[in-house]
Structure 1
Amino acid sequence: MSALVLMRHGQAAFGASRYDVLSEVGVAQAQATGAWLRDRGDTPTVVWHGPRQRHAETAAQVLAKAGDWPGAQLVPGLDEFAEGEEVLVAASTLYGRPLSGPEAPARREQLRCYEGAYEAWSRGELGIPGRASYRDFRLAVRQWMRDVVAAPGAPSGQRILAVTSGGVIAAAVCDLLGVSDEQWCALVRVIHNASITEIVFSQGRASLRSFNSAAHLARELTSPI
């Protein structure tokens, strides 16, 4: 039996002109997670991260606290469906109002519109310029998961730590549990920064062991976005 540990990246710069950078809280979350994994003796056989800066920075901060672990490897299949600023641009089109910059509404309203945009995208009612459709995104994550779970010649007993984003984690969990597409949005909304989701697999079969655990983080470091 092997394990795939999906870690969401630390808090990024939501609402800023560039989302893809860790905040101070995000750095602290990643470091706390690395220390927690080290103290548990939870040493992976391989560490992966997605192609975004926040993925690589999170992995680097985890490794800085974890001790003598293997270096992190870039895995394009761990990419998110879009960047935060891209979703906000799509949301501005959907709602007909500025949602970033000096004219942005209060954070609560900004988040409501942000969620409304990716929900509309998931239903095929809204496009995110330069990004794949929801269907194609889901198919890409599904194929990546199949490749990991059924990798020919992969030894049993692997422990893979993969740093990625909430959309990828939600897609993987939806496929594992066989739930409807509508549940993808519900899962994305609740996935905490630096949370841990664990999948166990063997001989091409996979099961969900845990989802969205953030118990290793102090209360002041717990954040959903």
Structure 2
Amino acid sequence: MGAVYLVRHGQASFGAADYDVLSELGHAQARAVGIELARRDVAVSLARSGTLSRQRVTAEVALAECCPDGTVEIDARWNEYDHVDIVARHGGGGAQEDADPRAYQGVLEKALREWIEAGASSPCAETWPMFLDRVRGAFDDLVSSLGKGSRAVVFTSGGVIATLCGTLLGDPATGFLSLNRVTVNAGLTKIVTGRSGTTLLSFNEHGHFDGEAAESLTYR
């Protein structure tokens, strides 16, 4: 039986001129999830990442802890949806406000719902059907390349993880809207593959942020 570990990137730089940069805490979170993978003795056969800086740096920092000799294959299909474009074209528009991330989250969730409802008619450069197709394609290609007993680790984003989990649970759109908002930075989701098919085994594990590490737990 093969396994795929989906890792959400560490905390990015909300409200900064360049969101796609790991914060200081994001670096610490990336190290923590790498240490957790090492603790679980995950023998990484494949490592993949999207092209976004927050994903690639999370991969670099985490793999230094659990698989220092490993290499990462970069694949843009693991990138997150373009939240800036979606919010600009759906939900009334809005911008990230560093002082009030909760308010922005409300704007984002409204825009994401409208983006999904618009389907192929959305004015966004990437519509929901396009996003869904590329994420599924990336996952299907990964699973097809897994050998018996292989372990793959993918460094990606919350929307991608939520979409795949929703797909495995039978409803990608509902899964995306429900699960995306609760994915934690540097959380772990485990999917297993075998003769019986592909199964979601765990979602959003973050025990590595319990106890003394609780202050490192973030959602945005």
Correspondence 1:1-225 to 2 at 5 A: 1-82=1-82, 84-90=83-89, 94-95=91-92, 98-100=94-96, 106-124=100-118, 127=122, 129=124, 131-151=125-145, 154-179=146-171, 181-203=173-195, 205-217=197-209, 218-225=213-220
Change (3 A) 1:15 1:143: same
**TM superposition shift of 1:111:** 1.8
- Asked if the contact 1:195–1:213 (Cα under 8 Å) also holds between the matched residues in 2, the reply is yes
Distance, in Å, in 2 between the alignment partners of 1:11 and 1:193 is 6
SS of 2:191's partner is: strand
Give the count of matched residue pairs: 216
Listed one character per residue, the Cα deviations across residues 90-148 of structure 1 (whole Å, up to 9, x for unaligned) are 46xx335x5346xx77332122112211221121179464x310011112212222222
Counterpart of 1:199 in 2: which secondary structure?
A: strand
Cα distance in 2 for residues equivalent to 1:71 and 1:15: 31
Alignment CA distance shift 1:105-1:67 (3 Å): closer
Q: 1:67 to 1:201 in 2, by over 3 A?
A: closer
Task: Work out the CA distance in 2 between the residues paired with 1:168 and 1:100.
Answer: 21
Give CA-to-partner distance per residue, 1:131-182, whole Å, 9 cap, x none: 310011112212222222234xx42011001000111111111111112623
Change (3 A) 1:132 1:204: farther
TM-score (norm 1): 0.86
In 2 relative to 1, CA 22–180 (structure 1 residues): closer, same or farther, beyond 3 Å? closer
Letter in 1 for 2:55: H
SS of 1:208's equivalent in the other structure is: strand
Give TM-score, length-normalised by structure 2.
0.88
Q: Identity over aligned residues, as a percent?
A: 32
Distance 1:178 1:38 in 2: 32
Unaligned runs of 5+ in 2: none
TM-superposed deviation, 1:204: 8.2
- CA, structure 1 residues 33+137, in 2 after alignment: closer, same or farther (shift >3 Å)? same
- Structure 2 vs 1, CA of residues 95 and 40 (structure 1 numbering), >3 Å: closer, same or farther? same
